Amino acid sequence: MQPIIQRFQVPFQYPVHFTDGLFRPENPLLADVLRQDGNSVPRRIFFVIDSGVAAHHGQLEAEITSYAKTYASLIRLAAAPLVMPGGEACKNDPALVEQIQQAVNDYGIDRHSYIAAVGGGAFLDMAGFAAAVSHRGVRLIRIPTTVLAQNDSGVGVKNSVNAFHKKNFLGTFAPPFAVLNDFSFLTTLNDRDWRSGISEAIKVALIKDAAFFDRIRHDAPALAARDMPAMQYLIYRCAQMHLDHIAGGDPFEKGSSRPLDFGHWSAHKLEALTDYEIRHGEAVAIGMALDCVYANLAGMLGDNDLQIILDVLDALGFPLYTPALSDRTTSGELAIVQGLHEFREHLGGRLTIMLLEKIGKGVEVHQVNPQLVAEAIGVLEKHSLKVA
């Protein structure tokens, strides 16, 4: 008998909104977004909140409850908001995923209900994973509260948790119902978290848009001084470029080409080597610097472009070296080089690393010379001593 070939297409669409004061009664954005689902009855929503956000916004739970009452014809809270630990550590604790799944079961949250996750990128990853595997997919509304989540991780289609000492080992591709970026959450970020997300904008600018990189370079003093209009532009443009890439042909990453992972092969390993003391965005900044120095040593990236890139990262306050870069295994191999093997495994195919040929133009390579990596680390160590 001939095989039966099944083929179908499923279109995906979701909005990414930008606002200020999402839960103010006079702000109808959340209610307007919910109207788009076509239901004629109040929507059941279960809020999960990053404990760090809750601590800095003490009235948040009360504001959510009050907002739901204001828009009672559209919103019905399934239960009181659940406050949970955030930060990268939350992706290492399976009990937190189980806690959300238990709530889905206990409160009768079905596939026509919503989980609304309020928090940073790691928290959204964890909560999104729990939503995606409950009932094979509960609708998810992401409300990112950090720069990195608003311009990168929170606007895409991926959800994940860590396992087996590997970052994002368990996960799903599950587009959210909507992403609601509320700039007011950024005002309470500490300087490290404010700065951290800027690295993802630098990343996408370096490989795709020299003009955007020039804008970041020009705005670096303002960004370092926490200028909100400069940050709002950076977040909007970065989110736009990430969304354009997702729509560009491989949204669920079936291939091995991952240009938006520029600087990430070492960043993911560096996070693990430091027990996640280094923020993801900080690790990405170091990873980009490492790859740019490597590309320069390999004769790909010119001296002038390399210096401009390092100067911008320095101006924004990113440390570009940590002793963990120089850690070695018992066999004498640089521990960071193991990140190459893990990255290849994560891709599920041929090793594909994005490097720079010039600012605004990335090129893919399929081999990395460990000795040249070691030399690049030495350059960054000397650079950090000069900056200090």
271-309, pLDDT tens digit by residue? 989 988 999 999 999 999 999 999 999 999 999 999 999
pLDDT over 90 at 259, yes or no: no
pLDDT at 248 over 80: no
Q: Is the pLDDT assigned to residue 47 strictly greater than 70?
A: yes
The predicted structure's pLDDT at residue 255? 55
Q: Tens digits of per-residue pLDDT, 325-381?
A: 999 988 888 989 888 877 777 666 678 889 999 999 999 998 899 999 999 999 999
Q: Which two tokens stand for residue 233?
A: 């532009």
Q: How many residues does the chain have?
A: 388
Task: For residue 300, give the amino acid letter.
Answer: M
375 CB burial (10 A radius; 0-12, 13-18, 19+): middle
> Which pTM does this prediction carry?
0.91
The structural domains of the chain, with segments of one domain joined by +, span 16-188, 211-387
* 257 has a pLDDT exceeding 60: no
Q: Give the orientation angle of helix 198-208 with respect to helix 210-224, to 10 degrees.
A: 160
Confidence check: pLDDT of 388 > 80: no
Q: What is the pLDDT of residue 260?
A: 75
Encoding tokens for residue 338?
């193991």
At 331 the pLDDT is: 86
pLDDT at position 332 is 82
Burial class (CB in 10 A: 0-12, 13-18, 19+), 160: buried
Calculate mean pLDDT across residues 76-87: 96
Query: Strand 139-144 vs strand 114-119: parallel, antiparallel, or unpaired?
Result: parallel
So what's the pLDDT on residue 247? 80
User: pLDDT at position 9, please?
Assistant: 86
Residue 339, pLDDT score: 81
Q: What is the pLDDT of residue 346?
A: 63
User: What's the pLDDT at 282?
Assistant: 96
pLDDT band at 253 (very low <50, low <70, confident <90, very high): low
pLDDT for the residue 256: 47
**pLDDT at site 276:** 87
Does the pLDDT of residue 98 top 80, yes or no? yes
CATH of domain 211-387: 1.20.1090.10
Please say whether the beta carbons of 296 and 359 come within 8 A. no
CA atoms of 84 and 76, how far apart (whole Å) = 21
- Contact at 8 Å (CB) between 332 and 299? no
DSSP 110-125: -TTSEEEEEE-HHHHH
Residue 63 tokens read as: 């504001």
CA distance 386 to 363: 30
| 19, containing H or E segment | strand 16-19
Q: How confident is the model at residue 215 (pLDDT cuts 50, 70, 90)?
A: very high
The per-residue pLDDT for 88 is 87
The CA distance from 98 to 37, in Å, is: 28
Average pLDDT, the chain: 93
16-188 architecture in CATH? 3-Layer(aba) Sandwich (3.40)
Per-residue pLDDT averaged across 88-111, rounded?
95
